[in-house]
Amino acid sequence: MDFRFTPEEEAFRKEVRDFIESECPSDLRGGDVNFFQQIGPLVQWRSKLAQKNWVAPAWPKEYGGAGMTIMEQFIYNLETARSRAPAPIYLGGLGVAVVGPTLIIYGSEEQKKKHIPGILSGQHIWCQGFSEPGSGSDLASLQTRAVRDGDDYVINGQKIWTTLAHLSQYMLLLCRTDPDAPKHKGISYLIVPMRDESGQPTPGVSVRPLYNMAGTHEFNEVFFDNVRVPAKNLVGEEHRGWYMAVTTLDIERSNIGSAVGQQQTVEDLTRFASANKGNGVVRDLSSVRYELAERFIETEAALMLSNRVVTMQAKGMIPNYEASAVKLYSMELNQRIANTGMGMMGLYGQLSRSSKWSQLRGRVEFMYLRSVANTIEGGTSEIQRNIVAQRGLGLPRND
């Protein structure tokens, strides 16, 4: 198989590389940006990307994207990862990754006009209100209710694990609008303002923080107590939300995972192991060399799996179990890389960035803790395995 790019693709690759080289601030290029501590430089970088319509490069030009082809997006993402610049998806958050594409496909003209500019400029942060305490993998069982009352919907219920709800201006909410219909058929999509322009929470909305095991406040519980939302905030057809959400989840899944970033981490660990041989920081090299070699081979396999998905998309095919295979493999690989790093560094691996004794800016400690969530967020590994088993291998359902 020949993975070389065409001369035009090579030229585009150079354009991306040169742009990042000259414009992206160097302190954002360590591969370990902290969203909360480096918000200033991130905003700066984002506005430079915005000038080139590169914040949401895949979106059509009429909506402020660059209308990039699948291959151009792939090259753009690859070069961003190779240059260790923050991924565009990271900068744009769920607004760019999920909400914008959903509104472009299903939203009314009024919704697009109102919300797309704020998503692109970064003025509005969005969150995704899908999961509930009893409904994660079995999302269609969700219970948060929205009842039509005149020109409004009135919402009651609870969401959980809602990333960035504490900072968001809007939520894309999945809620039950017809409790008597079969579970997939009574769900709708609503846009819920989380706060007003002055930052005051919407009446009836309360957000409670949840801290992850890495100690960061990324996600929350969100409670709705008779929250009134105008009926014009309905996205697409009433009761058809499930079918739209399936598209949203496909969009989300196809964005997860970067084999290039993983390869760089393995290369960093390898360089670190060689540089610290015999000085007590790294465990006996003879016992970690095979592990590092294995991790490197696995990153090559992850790259091949991603290439397959991109090639399918470029041919107009819709990856299905193939996207699940990439998600599953790359997210479990993240954990194996973190384990290798932790084992290799011994006690040094456990030190966070804030310690003066930490190595590699505390990346191993953070990756070790944060990568636990990788096999849960965006659909757990078991769910991805079910998809591969049923749709890829044709095995019968397990129920």
Ligand X SMILES: Cc1cc2nc3c(=O)[nH]c(=O)nc-3n(C[C@H](O)[C@H](O)[C@H](O)COP(=O)(O)OP(=O)(O)OC[C@H]3O[C@@H](n4cnc5c(N)ncnc54)[C@H](O)[C@@H]3O)c2cc1C
Which stretches of the chain bind ligand X, using CB under 6 A? Answer: 127-131, 136-137, 161-163, 219, 373, 376-377, 379-380, 382-383, 386
Q: Crossing angle for the helix pair 321-345 and 363-374, nearest 10 degrees?
A: 150
Which residue reads 């953070």 in tokens? 366
Q: How far is the CB of 221 from ligand X (least distance, A)?
A: 11
Given a contact cutoff of 8 angstroms between Cβ atoms, the answer to whether 3 and 73 are in contact is no
**Residue 128 or 188: which CB sits closer to ligand X?**
128
CB 10: neighbour CB atoms within 10 A? 12
Q: How far is the CB of 389 from ligand X (least distance, A)?
A: 10
**Residue 83 or 216: which CB sits closer to ligand X?**
216
**Residue 165 or 303: which CB sits closer to ligand X?**
165
Secondary structure (DSSP) of 254-313: TT---HHHHHHHHHHHHHHHHHTTTSSSS--HHHHHHHHHHHHHHHHHHHHHHHHHHHHH
Given a contact cutoff of 8 angstroms between Cβ atoms, the answer to whether 343 and 281 are in contact is no
**Residue 162 or 258: which CB sits closer to ligand X?**
162
221 carries an active-site annotation: no
Given a contact cutoff of 8 angstroms between Cβ atoms, the answer to whether 52 and 89 are in contact is no
**Residue 99 or 310: which CB sits closer to ligand X?**
99
**One-letter identity of residue 168:** S
Interatomic CA distance for residues 82 and 29, integer angstroms = 10
**Residue 77 or 384: which CB sits closer to ligand X?**
384
Q: How far is the CB of 267 from ligand X (least distance, A)?
A: 26
Q: How far is the CB of 212 from ligand X (least distance, A)?
A: 6
Residue spans of alpha helices (H) in the chain:
7-23, 39-51, 70-82, 88-94, 100-106, 109-121, 241-253, 259-275, 285-314, 321-345, 363-374, 381-387
Interatomic CA distance for residues 183 and 277, integer angstroms = 59
Interatomic CA distance for residues 356 and 362, integer angstroms = 10
> Catalytic pick from 72, 238, 252, 322?
252
Q: What is the torsional sign of CA 213, 214, 215, 216?
A: negative
Interatomic CA distance for residues 2 and 129, integer angstroms = 42
Name the residue whose CB lies closest to ligand X: 136
Interatomic CA distance for residues 217 and 85, integer angstroms = 23
- Burial class for 283, CB neighbours closer than 10 Å (0-12, 13-18, 19+): middle
Which residue reads 């079918």 in tokens? 243
Active site positions, annotated: 252
